[in-house]
Structure 1
Amino acid sequence: MKVMLVMWSDGSYEGGDAEEDYAAWARFEESLRADGVVTDTGRFGPAGDARATVTSITRHPDVAPQPSEALSGYYLLEVADLDAAAEYARRAPLYGTVEIRPLVEY
């Protein structure tokens, strides 16, 4: 099954761009690649550079959507089941939450 691990930062990390943090993420990603489960990954840019819009068919046109600073990146995985996805998600070196979303395949 395909799942997306959506990374949400809790904002508690204040370490900056420490080399050991990059190394932890590199090890995490390498473990996903070694297991052959990662199909794509990406880190989102700053929320200040993002845009959010209301669609033309929305029922709430007066709502002003705002990009979230907490949304930081994703991994697209192909795994056996949600339990396997949760095991990978728990290993992420993230100060925050990993949302595990199954992708609907048509």
Structure 2
Amino acid sequence: MPTYIAFTYTADVDWTDPQYGEEMKEYAEFGEAAQAVIRGGHSLYPTATATTVRTPAGKGGDPVATDGPYAETKEALTGYYVLECADLDEAVAVAGRLPAAWNGAVEIRPVIEFA
């Protein structure tokens, strides 16, 4: 069965903050309802906690790390789910039930399975 990653894009907030408790409850309800196809996933801390790494000199060069996200955006990558679905249509149906789809966006990508 194909595997898909459903990336959630929402407001760039700290989901551990109690003020988001109701929305986190909705995610928990989604998790219970879709447990048959969920194979993993996590929420991410806000982009302010990100570190961006580049190697300006190219392959073999020294990596340079900078604090903060790659780009400033209204919505940020805030989590992901690993879904094992029969096909893309099923993955779209499952992702449409994610709270992120109601007030943000969900991007689905198929996973390449290397042997």
Structure-2 change in CA distance of 1:30 and 1:67 (3 Å): farther
2:44 aligned partner? 44
How many Å separate the matches in 2 of 1:3 and 1:54? Answer: 27
Amino acid at match of 2:6: L
* Cα contact 1:51–1:67 (8 A) shared by 2: no
Structure 1 segment 2-81 matched on structure 2, within 5 A: 2-9=3-10, 17-33=19-35, 36-55=36-55, 56-57=58-59, 66=70, 70-81=76-87
CA deviations 1:2-44 (Å, max 9, x no partner) are 0000001156xxxx724432221111011111xx111101001
* Cα contact 1:52–1:67 (8 A) shared by 2: no
Q: Residue 76 of structure 1: CA displacement? A: 0.2
Structure-2 change in CA distance of 1:48 and 1:19 (3 Å): closer
How many Å separate the matches in 1 of 2:37 and 2:81? Answer: 10
Percent of paired sites with the same residue: 34
* Cα contact 1:4–1:101 (8 A) shared by 2: yes
Amino acid at match of 1:7: T
Displacement over 4 Å in runs of 4+: none
Structure 1 segment 87-102 matched on structure 2, within 5 A: 87-94=93-100, 95-102=103-110
Q: How many residues are treated as equivalent by the alignment? A: 94
How many Å separate the matches in 2 of 1:17 and 1:87? Answer: 28
* Cα contact 1:43–1:72 (8 A) shared by 2: yes
Structure in which a larger fraction of residues adopt strand: 2
User: SS of the counterpart of 1:86?
Assistant: helix
How many Å separate the matches in 2 of 1:44 and 1:93? Answer: 15
Q: Normalised by the size of structure 1, how large is the TM-score?
A: 0.77
User: SS of the counterpart of 2:51?
Assistant: coil
Alpha-carbon RMSD: 2.2
